[in-house]
Amino acid sequence: MREAGEAAALGIPAVLLFGVPADKDEEGSGAWDDEGIVQLATRAIKDAHPELLVIADLCLCEYTSHGHCGVLRDDGQVDNDQTLDLLARTAISQARAGADAIAPSDMMDGRVGHIRAALDDDGLTETPIIAYSAKFASAFYGPFRDAAESAPSHGDRRGYQMDPANGREAVREAVIDVDEGADIVMVKPALPYLDIVRRVRDAVPVPVAAYNVSGEYAMIKAAAGAGYLDERTAVLEALTSIRRAGADIVITYHAKDVAGWLRAEQ
């Protein structure tokens, strides 16, 4: 609530919520709990700051005891199709709580179409989907995973996240997500994947979001803290490069700093 209030006061248009529940289980049932952490936070923020857009990240990995993004089969692999139903349930619960947009980050095959159909069936036809379409298996998620306590307890997410070497697959996935009903597609991370941002921008008719992830943020913060970089100049240059590459929307942990700097200049 405090963070959201600060963001709203600075003129930041939207916040993206990730849940860190008190309890985790095998299925990640906290994700679709109507009294879950994201549902409660969404209601509270929309009550206090109706103009601030609340986007709900949709995945199970913050809620599962094993830290994977879906239900595990006996062989330890994620069961794609079983996971789709749980994601749809979660999307409906988040939208009913007042989320302005649902952002599936799980990378299961077919999830955008599945979630779209479930939202429509529930009368939530106006709730847009922001798809994490090109989410790479990246080393740059490290600081976030520590904060969200969501690192997988065994194995990794390479089975369902993208190979950093495979640019064509990223573009293909974005096109598929738009065909399935995504209203906005996302590339994540941003700075090591600016070429992907541009290629996706050129390939789809919908807005493209780029996620400037925690490791990208931490690198600049650490370098600035050590006196190697001027923080403000480096941040503005990095974010400008993301926009130049074609991102219509930038998701960044630098948001409050940047909003403050830009405001002071006016």
Residue 67 CB, nearest distance to Zn ion (Å)?
8
Prior bond to 21 cis, omega within 30? no
88 part of the interface to Zn ion, by CB under 5 A:
no
Residue 140 one-letter amino acid: F
- Which of residues 71 and 239 has its CB atom nearest to Zn ion in the complex? 71
Shortest CB 62 distance to Zn ion, Å: 7
Residue 66 or 201: the one with the smaller Cβ distance to Zn ion is 66
Total residues in contact with Zn ion, by rule CB under 5 A? 3
CB of 17 to Zn ion, least distance (A): 14
Q: At a CB cut-off of 8 Å and minimum separation 6, what does 172 contact?
A: none
Looking at the Cβ atoms of 83 and 212, the one nearer to Zn ion is 83
Q: For Zn ion, which residue of 61, 92, 102, 162 counts as binding (CB under 5 A)? A: 61
Cβ of residue 59: shortest distance to Zn ion, in angstroms? 3
Q: Tell me, yes or no, if 135 is annotated catalytic.
A: yes
Q: How far is CA 77 from CA 50, 103, 115, 132, in A?
A: 41, 23, 22, 21
Window contacting Zn ion (CB under 5 A); options: 53-61, 95-103, 120-128, 131-139: 53-61
208/202 Cα distance (integer angstroms): 10
Catalytic residue among 24, 46, 135, 221: 135
Query: Distance (Å, rounded) from C-alpha 105 to C-alpha 97?
Result: 19
Using rule CB under 5 A, residue 107 touches Zn ion = no
69 binds Zn ion (CB under 5 A): yes
Does position 59 bind Zn ion by CB under 5 A? Answer: yes
- Relative to beta strand 101-104, strand 130-135 is unpaired
CA atoms 151, 104, 161, 108: torsion sign: positive
Task: Please report whether residue 78 would count as binding Zn ion according to CB under 5 A.
Answer: no
Q: Which residue is nearest to Zn ion, using beta carbons?
A: 61
Euclidean distance between CA atoms 242 and 240, whole angstroms: 5
Q: Is 221 a catalytic residue?
A: no
Active site positions, annotated: 135, 188
Q: Write out the residues near Zn ion by the rule CB under 5 A.
A: 59, 61, 69
